[in-house]
C-alpha cells in the first residue's frame, strides 16, 4: 500500500520540487553567486577551520564582496570534523540555501565523503584543503563536478622523497597519523625515496589526535639516518617536543602539515632545522606573498597558513571564471570546465590544473629557521624555502597512466619491503 502510494505521488512531487528548485537557482544566478563553505568550526580542528574561512573571506573583502558584478553570498557551515556531519551540511547548503558550488572539507575522509554528494546533487565541489588522492586520480570519473584547488596528499612528497635521497639519507623511519591522509603522504614519500635507492625501515601509525607519543618514540629504530613524520593539527605540536625530550637528535623531515604555519608560531626552538615540503610557505620571498602575509597578519593577528592561502587562491580562481562570464553563473558543467582551464599567478606561485582537475604548482622544500622576515622586528620561526621544484603535477615523474596503474597509497601500499 505504501509503495503504491509513493510510486505516483512521490514521482510527481519530486518533479515539482525539482522544478521549483531549478527556477529558484536560476533566478538567484542572475543577481548573485551563492557559495557554501564547509569546515570544522567546533572540535579539535576548529582553529584550522577558522584559518580556512579567513583566507576566503579576506579575498572576498579585497574585491568588495562581489566577483565581476555577481554579489557573493558566503555561507559557512560547521562540519565538526566528522564526515557524516559534513555530508548533512552539504545537503543543507545545496537544498536549503541553493548554493551553486561548495568549498572546503579539511580531512581527507571528509573529501571522500563530500565528493559523492556533489555527484548526487549535481553541484560543483572545490576541495580546497581535503587532499585525498583518489578524488582527482582513480575516482575522478565518478566525480565529474569536483575541481581541486588545493593539492593531493602525495603530491609534495614525491619530490620530497627524491630530495631526501640527494641529502644522502639511506634509512628512514616513518611515523604518521593513522588515516587516509597519513597513508598517502607517507606512501608518496616512500615511493619516491625507495625509487632512488632509499629504504623505509619502519612505519609507525599513531591514531589521529594522539597527544602522548610515549608508547611510540622508544620503539623507533635507533640506527635510522632520519625520521619522517606526518602530524596533523594538535599532534604536530606534541611530537617534536616529545622527540626532543627523549633526547633524539636525528634529522627530522615532515609532511607539510607537521610544520605548516598553523602550528609553527606555537612551536619551540627544538624544531629549528626540521625540513618539510608543501606548495606554500609563508616565508616565500615574492612580492605577492610578502603583501599577502602582511595584510593577513594585520587583519587576523597571525601568519597565514597554507589553509588560508589555499582558500584565498580558491576564491581568486572562482573570480577568474566569473570575470570571463561577466558575473553570470555559467551552469555547473560549464563552470567546472572553465575552472579547470584557469591559469593563475597565485600567492603560492603559478597554478594551472591538469586534465584530472588537480593543480600543477611549485613544491617548496622548507627548512625551519629562526629569523626576522618582512620587516617584523622579532626573531620568529619561518619555513625558509631551500629548494623549489617547479610545476609539480600529482603524477610527479611517473606519468599519468603508469601512476594510475598502482593502487592508492594505503597502510599496505607501498609494502614495507625493507622493514626490519
Partner 1 sequence: MNNRRGVMIVIGALLALLIVTPYASSYVIVLITYALVYSILAMSLDILLGYTGLPSLGQAAYLGMGAYLTAILATQYDFGLGWDFWVVLVLGILVGAATAAFFGLFAIRATGVYFLMITLALGQCVWGLAYRWNSLTGGDNGINLPPRPQFGINLANDVTYFYIVFGCFAVSLLTLYILVKSPFGRSLEGIREREPRMRILGYNTWLHKYIAFVIAGGYGGLAGVLWAHLSGLVSPSDVLLTTSVDALLMVVLGGAGTLVGGVIGAALIVFLRDYLSTMVTWWLYVLGGVYILTILYLPGGLMGLLERIRRRRALSASPEKAEKLKSVVH
CB nearer partner 1, residue 184 or residue 309: 184
Site for partner 1 in 3-62 (CB under 8 A): 3, 5-7, 9-11, 13-14, 17, 21, 41-42
- Residue 96 makes CB contacts below 8 A (sequence gap 6+) with none
Q: Does 82 bind partner 1 (CB under 8 A)?
A: yes
CB nearer partner 1, residue 91 or residue 420: 91
- Residue choice 180, 186, 284, 317 for contact with partner 1 (CB under 8 A): 180
Say if residues 283 and 347 touch (Cβ distance below 8 Å): no
CB nearer partner 1, residue 46 or residue 385: 46
- 219 in helix, strand or coil? helix
Residue whose entry in the numeric block shows the C-alpha cell 598553523 = 262
Neighbours of 66 (CB within 10 A): 15
Calpha distance 49→89 (Å, rounded): 15
Q: Does 65 bind partner 1 (CB under 8 A)?
A: no
CB nearer partner 1, residue 84 or residue 214: 84
Q: How far is the CB of 375 from partner 1 (least distance, A)?
A: 36
Calpha distance 6→153 (Å, rounded): 44
Q: Does 179 bind partner 1 (CB under 8 A)?
A: yes
Using CB under 8 A, which of the segments 89-97, 165-173, 360-368, 385-393 binds partner 1? Answer: 89-97
C-alpha gyration radius of the chain: 22
CB nearer partner 1, residue 177 or residue 264: 177
Q: Does 88 bind partner 1 (CB under 8 A)?
A: yes
Q: Does 125 bind partner 1 (CB under 8 A)?
A: no
Pairing state of beta strands 32-39 and 70-78?
parallel
What distance lies between CA 17 and its chain's CA centroid? 35
Using CB under 8 A, which of the segments 90-98, 247-255, 316-324, 352-360 binds partner 1? Answer: 90-98
Q: Does 138 bind partner 1 (CB under 8 A)?
A: no
Q: Does 2 bind partner 1 (CB under 8 A)?
A: yes
Say if residues 383 and 282 touch (Cβ distance below 8 Å): yes
Q: How far is the CB of 207 from partner 1 (least distance, A)?
A: 9
Say if residues 132 and 109 touch (Cβ distance below 8 Å): yes
Q: What is the DSSP letter of 409?
A: P
Read off the C-alpha cell for 321.
Answer: 571564471
- Residue 14 makes CB contacts below 8 A (sequence gap 6+) with none
User: In the complex, which residues of this chain contact partner 1 (CB under 8 A)?
Assistant: 2-3, 5-7, 9-11, 13-14, 17, 21, 41-42, 77-78, 82-84, 87-89, 91-92, 95-96, 108-109, 112-113, 116-117, 120, 132, 178-180, 208, 410-412
Amino acid at each position: 500500500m505504501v509503495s503504491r502510494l509513493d510510486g505516483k505521488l512521490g514521482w510527481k512531487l519530486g518533479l515539482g520540487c525539482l522544478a521549483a528548485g531549478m527556477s529558484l537557482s536560476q533566478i538567484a544566478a542572475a543577481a548573485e553567486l551563492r557559495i557554501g563553505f564547509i569546515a570544522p568550526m567546533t572540535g579539535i580542528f576548529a582553529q584550522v577551520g577558522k584559518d580556512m574561512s579567513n583566507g576566503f573571506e579576506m579575498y572576498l573583502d579585497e574585491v568588495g564582496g562581489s566577483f565581476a558584478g555577481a554579489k557573493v553570498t558566503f555561507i559557512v557551515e560547521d562540519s565538526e570534523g566528522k564526515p557524516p556531519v559534513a555530508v548533512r551540511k552539504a545537503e543543507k547548503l545545496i537544498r536549503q540555501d541553493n548554493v551553486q558550488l561548495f568549498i572546503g572539507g579539511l580531512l581527507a575522509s571528509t573529501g571522500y565523503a563530500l565528493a559523492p554528494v556533489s555527484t548526487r546533487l549535481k553541484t560543483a565541489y572545490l576541495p580546497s584543503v581535503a587532499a585525498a588522492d583518489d578524488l582527482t586520480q582513480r575516482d575522478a570519473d565518478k566525480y565529474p563536478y569536483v575541481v581541486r584547488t588545493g593539492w593531493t596528499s602525495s603530491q609534495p612528497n614525491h619530490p620530497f622523497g627524491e630530495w631526501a635521497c640527494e641529502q644522502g639519507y639511506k634509512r628512514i623511519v616513518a611515523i604518521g597519523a593513522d588515516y587516509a591522509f597519513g597513508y598517502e603522504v607517507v606512501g608518496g614519500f616512500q615511493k619516491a625515496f625507495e625509487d632512488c635507492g632509499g629504504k623505509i625501515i619502519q612505519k609507525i601509525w599513531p591514531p589521529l589526535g594522539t597527544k602522548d607519543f610515549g608508547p611510540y618514540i622508544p620503539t623507533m629504530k635507533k640506527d635510522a639516518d632520519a625520521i619522517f613524520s606526518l602530524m596533523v593539527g594538535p599532534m604536530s605540536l606534541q611530537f617534536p617536543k616529545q622527540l626532543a625530550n627523549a633526547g633524539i637528535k636525528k634529522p627530522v623531515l615532515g609532511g607539510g602539515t607537521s610544520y605548516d604555519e598553523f602550528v609553527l608560531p606555537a612551536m619551540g626552538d627544538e624544531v629549528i632545522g626540521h625540513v618539510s615540503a608543501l606548495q606554500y610557505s609563508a616565508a616565500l620571498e615574492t612580492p605577492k606573498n610578502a603583501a599577502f602575509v602582511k595584510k593577513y597578519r594585520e587583519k587576523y593577528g597571525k601568519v597565514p597558513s597554507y589553509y588560508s592561502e589555499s582558500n584565498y587562491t580558491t576564491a581568486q580562481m572562482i573570480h577568474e571564471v566569473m570575470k570571463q562570464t561577466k558575473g553570470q553563473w555559467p551552469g555547473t558543467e560549464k563552470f567546472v570546465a572553465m575552472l579547470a582551464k584557469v591559469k593563475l599567478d597565485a600567492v603560492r606561485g603559478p597554478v594551472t590544473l591538469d586534465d584530472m582537475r588537480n593543480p600543477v604548482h611549485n613544491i617548496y622544500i622548507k627548512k625551519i629557521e629562526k629569523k626576522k622576515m618582512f620587516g617584523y622586528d622579532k626573531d620568529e620561526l619561518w619555513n625558509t624555502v631551500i629548494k623549489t621544484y617547479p610545476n609539480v603535477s600529482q603524477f610527479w615523474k611517473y606519468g599519468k597512466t603508469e601512476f594510475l596503474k598502482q593502487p592508492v597509497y594505503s597502510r599496505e601500499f607501498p609494502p614495507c619491503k625493507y622493514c626490519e
